[in-house]
Every structure is written in C-alpha cells, then in structure tokens.
Amino acid sequence: MQHLFLASRNPHKAREFAAMLKAEFAVEDLREHPEIAEVIEVGATFAENARLKAVAISRQLPGLVLSDDSGLEVDSLGGEPGVFSARYSGENATDEMNRRKLLDQKAQLAPGASRAARFRSVLALARDGEVLAVFEGTLEGRIIRTERGEGGFGYDSLFQPDGLAKTLAELSPKEKNAISHRAAAVAQFRSFLETADLRD
C-alpha cells in the first residue's frame, strides 16, 4: 500500500478520499501536520488553486501529495459560488451560512431562472514541488428550493443530481462516492497510476 498525503484539513474530504482510495493508498491529511501553514487560495480557477496547494505542500512533505479544489457552480448565478464555495458568505463561513446565502441569491432571480448547477473537482498530484498530473470531474444537477437530507456536507442538501430523486445529502456515503465529482476525478487519478512510473 502506497502512502499519499492529502493537502487538506477538511475532515469530510479526508473521509471521502480515504473511502475511495483505501484499497491502494494509506491516506494522511494535514490535520496530522499542524506545523504546515495554510496555503492561501488566490487562483481564479479550481485548477489553479489545486496546483498551488499541491506544489506548496509537496515542497514540505516527502512523497506523493494530492490536492483537491472543488465547489459548486450555479448557472443562473454566473457560476457562483465557484472557487469561493467554502467561503461564499465570508472567510469564517459555515456550511449553513453558505447554503443560506445561496438560497437568498437564488430567491432574488426571476421565478423561471435556471436551477441547473454542477459540482466540480480538480485534483493535482505533485511531488517535490512539481505537478505530475491534473484530473477533473463534474457532477451535473440542479439546486432545489429547500434543503433535504442529513448526510454529506457543504451544499449537498441543496443539490439533486440529474437522474436522481434524492439530494446528495440523502444518499449513503457509498452511493455518493460512486457518482460524485470527486469520484470522477479519482477515477482519472487511478487510470493515471496504472500507466505512470512514479518511482523516486
């Protein structure tokens, strides 16, 4: 089993990655490394932020580092909250505050405004300060008017994937991990590993 550092302190993300990669990797996230400073996400895109974090962390920790930047894009809001998904209502925003702002923003639009949205995840794999590869996954769906479900995190209780009657928050972790934007990006990561030579 290969060791993999996850460039995140988000416990929800860490659990999802551990569940999806446990057969191949021992995943360790940054909660085990309080000495490492937070990487400021100044990129204009998910890919830029993922690269920034992967490079910065891989310069401080040995071996492979996987960084994820992900969020929600709502078409009728011009792609918001996008890269600001985690801090949509401010730097110290909670998931609840962000969901409330999203609903408030949607309520200001015309009644027939599109509810189409997607979750996007971009992964960057790095070692020794160099990006080895970038992977991207999306999950298309729609924003519902009221929250449903107790599971998940972030905007999951407001997002209903295309083709499903449930929100992400109403799915089991196993069900969510089978269809999510992050799962799609991880599938590309796995395919890359099958052909890449990552020996030091």
Alpha helices in 78-156 (DSSP H): 95-107
pTM: 0.92
Catalytic residues: 69
Q: What are the chain's domains?
A: 2-195 (3.90.950.10)
For 163-199, write each residue's pLDDT tens digit: 999 999 999 999 999 999 999 999 999 899 888 877 6
Four-residue CA torsion sign, 188, 138, 180, 6: positive
Asked if residue 155 has pLDDT above 80, the reply is yes
pLDDT of the residue at 200: 58
pLDDT of the residue at 89: 96
Tokens encoding 137 = 């996954």
What distance in Å separates the CA atoms of residue 68 and residue 24, rounded to the nearest whole number? 18
CB distance 61 to 7 below 8 Å:
no
Q: Cα 199 vs. chain centroid, distance in angstroms?
A: 27
For 2-42, write each residue's pLDDT tens digit: 899 999 998 988 889 988 887 788 999 999 999 999 998 89
- 43, 66, 72, 170 from 83: Cα distances, Å: 8, 18, 8, 25
pLDDT of the residue at 1: 78
